Chains A and B, each alone.
Chain A
Amino acid sequence: MHSFSRAMLAGLGLLALALPATAGGWQSFAAAFPTNACQDGWTACITSGGAVGPGMLHDTAGRPLPSDGRLGWFDLQPTASFSPFVGLSSYSGAAGGEVPRPAPVAAVQPTPVAASNPTQPTQPSNVQASNNPDASIRTLPAATPNVAVSPTANPNATMPPNGNATPNSTLATRPTQPSSQPSSQPSATPVSMQPTSQPATQPVTQPVANIQPVATPVATPVSQPAPTPTANIATSQVSNDCTDLVTLEPAAMMGSLTLGQTKCLEARLSSESQQTTKAKISLVLINNAEGKGDKTDWERLVKRHLEEIDRSDPDLCYKYSLQLSRGGAGRASGVIRWADYSLENKSKWTGNTYKSRVFALERLKTEAANKLWQDAEATYTTEHTDENEAKSAKYRGMTKDYAREWLDYAKASAQDTKSAMQYCVSAAGTTAFCEG
Chain B
Amino acid sequence: MSMLLSFMLQTVIASTAPAYAKDKAPDDGVPVRVVVCDDAKAPIATAVVRHPLEADRHRVNAVDGSWEASVLYLPDGSELRFTAGMTLNLEISAPGYTTQVLTYQVRKRRNLIDVTLPKIEVDDGQLEEPTISFGRDEPRE
**A interface residues (Cβ-Cβ under 8 A, vs B):** 245-246, 249, 252, 276, 279-280, 283-284, 286-287, 290, 313, 315-316, 318-319, 322, 356-357, 360, 363-364, 367, 370, 373-374, 377-378, 381-382, 396, 399, 418-419, 422-423, 425-427, 429-431
The answer to whether B129 touches A426 (Cβ under 8 A) is: no
Q: Which of B50, B91, B135 contacts A276 (CB 8 A)?
A: B135
Choose, from B21-29, B67-75, B108-116, B119-127, the stretch at the interface.
B119-127
Q: Give CA–CA (A246, B93) in the complex, Å.
A: 55
| Distance (whole angstroms) from the CB of B32 to the closest CB of chain A | 18
The answer to whether B97 touches A426 (Cβ under 8 A) is: yes
Q: Give CA–CA (A49, B121) in the complex, Å.
A: 84
Q: Across the two chains, which residue of chain B brings its CB closest to A369?
A: B95
Q: Give CA–CA (A363, B133) in the complex, Å.
A: 24
Q: Across the two chains, which residue of chain A brings its CB closest to B98?
A: A422
The majority secondary structure among interface residues of chain B is loop
Q: Give CA–CA (A180, B131) in the complex, Å.
A: 62
21 contacts between A and B (CB under 8 A): A252-B134, A279-B135, A280-B136, A286-B132, A287-B134, A315-B130, A315-B131, A319-B129, A319-B130, A322-B129, A357-B130, A360-B126, A370-B96, A370-B120, A381-B59, A425-B98, A425-B99, A426-B97, A429-B50, A429-B91, A431-B99
Quick one: given A276-B135, A287-B134, are A377 and B95 in contact (CB under 8 Å)? yes
Q: Across the two chains, which residue of chain A brings its CB closest to B121?
A: A419
Quick one: given A370-B95, A426-B95, A429-B48, are A381 and B62 in contact (CB under 8 Å)? yes
Q: Give CA–CA (A316, B132) in the complex, Å.
A: 6
Q: Which residues of A contact B133 (CB under 8 A)?
A: 283, 315
> Which residues of B76-119 have CB atoms within 8 Å of chain A's CB atoms?
91, 93-99, 101
Q: Give CA–CA (A370, B120) in the complex, Å.
A: 11
Q: Which residues of B contact A418 (CB under 8 A)?
A: 121
| Distance (whole angstroms) from the CB of B140 to the closest CB of chain A | 14
Q: Which of A360, A423, A430 contacts B50 (CB 8 A)?
A: A430
Q: Which of B62, B101, B123, B130 contacts A431 (CB 8 A)?
A: B101
Name the interface size band of chain B.
20 to 34
The answer to whether A374 touches B135 (Cβ under 8 A) is: no
The answer to whether B95 touches A283 (Cβ under 8 A) is: no
| Distance (whole angstroms) from the CB of A372 to the closest CB of chain B | 9
Q: Which residues of A contact B52 (CB under 8 A)?
A: 430
Q: Give CA–CA (A422, B128) in the complex, Å.
A: 22
Q: Across the two chains, which residue of chain B brings its CB closest to A309?
A: B135
Asked if B30 CB lies within 8 Å of chain A CBs, one says: no
The majority secondary structure among interface residues of chain A is helix
Q: Across the two chains, which residue of chain B brings its CB closest to A318?
A: B130
| Distance (whole angstroms) from the CB of B95 to the closest CB of chain A | 4
| Distance (whole angstroms) from the CB of B1 to the closest CB of chain A | 54
Asked if B45 CB lies within 8 Å of chain A CBs, one says: yes
| Distance (whole angstroms) from the CB of A123 to the closest CB of chain B | 55
Q: Give CA–CA (A271, B95) in the complex, Å.
A: 48
Asked if B33 CB lies within 8 Å of chain A CBs, one says: no
Asked if B57 CB lies within 8 Å of chain A CBs, one says: yes
Q: Across the two chains, which residue of chain B brings its CB closest to A279?
A: B135
Q: Which residues of B contact A377 (CB under 8 A)?
A: 46, 94-95
Q: Which of A283, A378, A396, A429 contacts B132 (CB 8 A)?
A: A283
Q: Which residues of A contact B120 (CB under 8 A)?
A: 370, 419, 422-423, 426
Q: Which residues of A contact B91 (CB under 8 A)?
A: 429-430
| Distance (whole angstroms) from the CB of B94 to the closest CB of chain A | 7
Q: Which residues of A contact B95 (CB under 8 A)?
A: 370, 373-374, 377, 396, 399, 426-427
Q: Give CA–CA (A144, B34) in the complex, Å.
A: 104
The answer to whether A283 touches B135 (Cβ under 8 A) is: yes
Q: Give CA–CA (A396, B59) in the complex, Å.
A: 14
Q: Give CA–CA (A285, B120) in the complex, Å.
A: 38
Give the 4 A-B residue pairs with the shortest CB-CB distance, closest first: A280-B135, A377-B46, A315-B130, A381-B62
Q: Which residues of B contact A286 (CB under 8 A)?
A: 132
Q: Across the two chains, which residue of chain A brings its CB closest to B60?
A: A381
Q: Give CA–CA (A367, B97) in the complex, Å.
A: 12
The answer to whether B62 touches A382 (Cβ under 8 A) is: yes
Q: Give CA–CA (A419, B127) in the complex, Å.
A: 14
Q: Across the two chains, which residue of chain A brings its CB closest to B62?
A: A381
| Distance (whole angstroms) from the CB of B109 to the closest CB of chain A | 29
| Distance (whole angstroms) from the CB of A399 to the closest CB of chain B | 7
Q: Give CA–CA (A279, B138) in the complex, Å.
A: 14
Q: Give CA–CA (A374, B46) in the complex, Å.
A: 8
Q: Give CA–CA (A78, B91) in the complex, Å.
A: 109
Q: Across the two chains, which residue of chain B brings its CB closest to A395?
A: B95
Instruction: Taking A360-B127, A377-B46, A426-B96 as given, write out 4 further A-B residue pairs in contact, using a Cβ cutoff of 8 Å, ordered by the A residue number.
Output: A245-B134, A315-B131, A382-B62, A426-B98
Quick one: given A381-B45, A419-B120, are A374 and B130 in contact (CB under 8 Å)? no
The answer to whether B96 touches A374 (Cβ under 8 A) is: yes
The answer to whether B45 touches A280 (Cβ under 8 A) is: no
> Which residues of B4-22 have CB atoms within 8 Å of chain A's CB atoms?
none
